[in-house]
Structure 1
Amino acid sequence: MSIFHLMLSSVVIFFVLYAPQPLLAQFAQLYATSPANTGLLMSVTMLPLAIAPICYGLFLANYSKLKLLKVAMMLLALCSVLITLQQRFELFLLLRFIEGLILPAALTAMTSYIGQTWQGQCLRRNMTWYVGSTILGGFLGRALAANFATWWNWESFYIFNAALLILISLRIKLPPLENITTPKACSPKDYLRPLKQPSLLRLYCAVFCMFFCFSALLNYLPFILSNEYNLKDPKLIGWVYGGYLVGALLSMCAPYLTKLHNNNWVILTAVFGVYCVSISAMQWQNLGAFIVLFTLFCACMFIIHASAAPLANEISSAHASITNGAYVSFYYSGGALGSFLPGFIYQTAGIEMFLLSLLLICILGAYFTWLNYRIGSETQLGR
């Protein structure tokens, strides 16, 4: 499977995850339910993403990654069609939860396939392209779902997405027998034991902190723009979200950053430092500065993600599927907690304490990467 084909698969899979987000207000009206209940359409899908990937990682250690990816895409297409046919909000929630159980299988299969197929600088480049495709899928999934709903109806996008999933999955060619180079273990503990590697655990914790901060700021960005900057026009708020895409484009330079210094942990710690600066500088109440800082914030997050994912594969002695399953679990655990915990601080203590809480978490992430630089020369180069 080529990296381009894998990227196309990633984009349409992320359509599934983020398509309901811009339509939540419409769904609240359609099903006569509260905004909080409608928000569950995202929560019930995110929750399995924080738990299931490590389980799929164990399963993929002795199973074809491409076969699981193909099956997962077919099942996601079926769920998309069933969503257009259901008439009750409870059934919609159930189908979203089922999608949440299927999505980790697809994500873990893709990252495991990359980690097992490519090595060295090629691994870094292809993992960066994969991360870029997830960002593009998240952006286009939101944008296209909203526009399809405006032009025709919300069901039309789900049918369109289902067709894409089926067409792209049918193009996945399965090898006669996928090479499994790791000997079979006696129990899951044998596969999970290498994850105790201190440098790997610290990297996972840094990734948790990274996505915690990112998820928190993006979830409460409309409230911040409305309450702090009196920006209430949805179109203008949408332009601010353009910083997300600009930051994603800047993140494509991640593989070239490793050429600036021969120690990968130094690069990662430095980017975390800029991530911290962008958060702390948001205390300056100026809309123009906030937009620039938000773009820098997004770029730092994507660069860290694009650097940490291949680095985890390089330093881990665990099977590729276990390494990437654990990575996805830590990543989305941070996102799940960051999506609601900082909200309580924002509601009760305001923007200053909200940003301070994110800054503290971000500093903790930087500390984990700095600790990897300080401890053990064998881990410092990330290989």
Structure 2
Amino acid sequence: MSASPVSTHLVRGTVAYRRATLALFCAGFATFAMLYCVQPLLPLLAGYFAVSAASSSLALSLTTLSLALCLLLAGALAESWGRKPVMVAALGLAVLLGLACALVDSWQWLLVLRALLGLALSGLPALAMAYVGEEFDPDSLPAAMGLYIGGTALGGLLGRLLAGLLADLGGWPLALGGIAGLGLLALLLFVWLLPPSRHFQAQALSLRGLLGNFAGHLGNPQLRLLFLLAFLLMGGFVALFNYVGFRLAAPPFSLSATVIGLLFVVYLGGILSAGWAGRLVTRLGARRVLQGGIGLMLLGVLGCAAPWLWLLVLGLALFTLGFFAAHAVASGQVGQRARQARAQASSLYLCAYYLGSSVLGYAGGWIWQHFGWSALLVALAGLFLLALLAVRRL
């Protein structure tokens, strides 16, 4: 009797599955650590370079904007060039640019290098999601995607936490250089651990074919809803974490960069909730788990309105739990609902995801500067209520 085609996929519990998930965990870790390490440094960058709070957020917004725009090209090229080679090259270039960021003393050059860093990182997220969709057994896919999203959560946590600590020890250049060094270690592990693709089928490079794939994905109403969710949830998530540092550095809290960085320990909850949510989908369905995740985000926003530090931190924890649960489920649904050209479908999802980070992250700074913290929280609550309405149509 011939072997089932499913037997060639990565199945939970096998050595190959563990190597692949650990490799993807490292990729997610490095991507988010280098991407978001500037977030707790924004007050320091604003003071050092004498720019406003909203302008300082460009160190993050320009990175995510270039990443979002270049994702479409990276996803298209990967349909012809393969998964692992492009991911290795992208992560290697990102490490070099991260090290270069630590060596400049010009605000303009820092922004240029951060924008190029986003371009380099564009070769990773969509391809990682496509690799999971192609190489893992369907029953193992939600848990594998949850582990990858957990890696992004840990990268976001350590990138921010260590950046705050290193900044207090040696300033923002040491912080950026140290995080790039961690990215190099993650790159070496990724190259060693990730199994080569078995189910990738190369497509000839064709502009007509690429545009046809994009049009097909955008014509799918369920995928459009997932793209909208990516924009709203990620945009709101980044807006809150961009400016909570300014809120906590000011009276009555007056916290140092190290203490503000330590508050990102709430990302540990994101690592757990991403994997947990992926497993819950098989029992409760994607829509219910998404609704629960967004509901937690709304509770978190309410907690962040409190004048007491303990309640604000609790609000951040709930907010983070909800975000990573919702993101893990939504990103997994993209791989399942796209029947072909999965890398391009993933790149569209992540393009919307990082466009939300750039546009809403910067807009949040404008609201914070002109209307204050409470107005920002009200705007975020409005975004998440809109996301709940979108989920009802899934």
Bucket of the pairwise TM-score, normalised by the shorter protein: 0.7 to 0.9
Which residue number corresponds to residue 191 of structure 1?
213
| Counterpart residue identity of residue 320, structure 1 | R
**How many Å apart are 1:184 and its aligned residue?**
7.3
| 2:330 aligned counterpart, secondary structure | helix
- State the Cα deviation string for residues 110-150 of structure 1 (Å, max 9, x = none): 22211221242311111110001011111112223344455
Q: 1:143 aligns with which of 161, 166, 173?
A: 161
Which residue number corresponds to residue 264 of structure 1?
286
Q: Which whole-Å CA distance do the structure 1 matches of 2:99 and 2:382 have between them?
A: 43
Q: Which whole-Å CA distance do the structure 2 matches of 1:34 and 1:218 have between them?
A: 19
Q: 1:34 aligns with which of 51, 71, 82?
A: 51
Which residue number corresponds to residue 60 of structure 1?
78
Q: Which whole-Å CA distance do the structure 2 matches of 1:222 and 1:167 have between them?
A: 32
| Counterpart residue identity of residue 232, structure 2 | C
**How many Å apart are 1:86 and its aligned residue?**
4.5
Q: Which whole-Å CA distance do the structure 1 matches of 2:183 and 2:296 have between them?
A: 40
Which residue number corresponds to residue 76 of structure 1?
94
Q: Which whole-Å CA distance do the structure 2 matches of 1:144 and 1:208 have between them?
A: 27
- State the Cα deviation string for residues 235-292 of structure 1 (Å, max 9, x = none): 554454332333443333112322442x321332233233334334554554433322
Contact 1:231 1:237 in 2 (8 A): no
Cα 1:192/1:176, change in 2 over 3 Å: closer
Runs of 4+ displaced beyond 6 Å:
181-185
Cα 1:265/1:60, change in 2 over 3 Å: same
- State the Cα deviation string for residues 11-39 of structure 1 (Å, max 9, x = none): 22333213334445555676x54355554
The aligned length equals: 369
Which residue number corresponds to residue 378 of structure 1?
none
Bigger mean CA deviation after superposition, 139-148 or 119-128: 139-148
Which residue number corresponds to residue 201 of structure 1?
224
| Counterpart residue identity of residue 302, structure 1 | F
Bigger mean CA deviation after superposition, 233-242 or 267-276: 233-242
Contact 1:278 1:297 in 2 (8 A): yes
Contact 1:248 1:302 in 2 (8 A): yes
Which residue number corresponds to residue 336 of structure 2?
314
**How many Å apart are 1:343 and its aligned residue?**
3.1
Q: 2:135 aligns with which of 117, 130, 137?
A: 117
Which residue number corresponds to residue 5 of structure 1?
23
Cα 1:231/1:255, change in 2 over 3 Å: same
TM-score (norm 1): 0.84
| Counterpart residue identity of residue 264, structure 2 | Y
**How many Å apart are 1:304 and its aligned residue?**
0.1
Contact 1:64 1:178 in 2 (8 A): no
**How many Å apart are 1:69 and its aligned residue?**
0.8
Q: Does 1:250 align with 2:273?
A: yes
Q: 2:297 aligns with which of 268, 275, 280?
A: 275
What's the Cα RMSD here?
3.0
Cα 1:268/1:236, change in 2 over 3 Å: same
Cα 1:113/1:256, change in 2 over 3 Å: closer
Contact 1:248 1:298 in 2 (8 A): no
Q: 2:64 aligns with which of 38, 46, 49?
A: 46
Percent identity of equivalent pairs? 23
Which residue number corresponds to residue 189 of structure 2?
168
| 1:179 aligned counterpart, secondary structure | coil
Contact 1:222 1:237 in 2 (8 A): yes
Q: Which whole-Å CA distance do the structure 2 matches of 1:28 and 1:343 have between them?
A: 13
| Counterpart residue identity of residue 139, structure 1 | L
TM-score (norm 2): 0.82
Cα 1:15/1:230, change in 2 over 3 Å: same
Contact 1:13 1:165 in 2 (8 A): no
Bigger mean CA deviation after superposition, 324-333 or 8-17: 8-17
Contact 2:27 2:124 in 1 (8 A): no
| Counterpart residue identity of residue 179, structure 1 | F
Cα 1:285/1:51, change in 2 over 3 Å: same
Contact 1:11 1:136 in 2 (8 A): yes
Q: Does 1:294 align with 2:312?
A: no
| Counterpart residue identity of residue 100, structure 2 | L
**How many Å apart are 1:300 and its aligned residue?**
0.5
Which residue number corresponds to residue 121 of structure 2?
103
Alignment of structure 1 residues 230-249 onto 2, 5 Å: 230-234=252-256, 236-249=259-272
Q: Which whole-Å CA distance do the structure 1 matches of 2:364 and 2:40 have between them?
A: 21
**How many Å apart are 1:58 and its aligned residue?**
1.5
**How many Å apart are 1:342 and its aligned residue?**
2.8
Which residue number corresponds to residue 327 of structure 1?
349
Cα 1:103/1:121, change in 2 over 3 Å: same
Cα 1:225/1:90, change in 2 over 3 Å: closer
Which residue number corresponds to residue 377 of structure 1?
none
Q: Which whole-Å CA distance do the structure 2 matches of 1:134 and 1:310 have between them?
A: 14
Bigger mean CA deviation after superposition, 73-82 or 321-330: 73-82
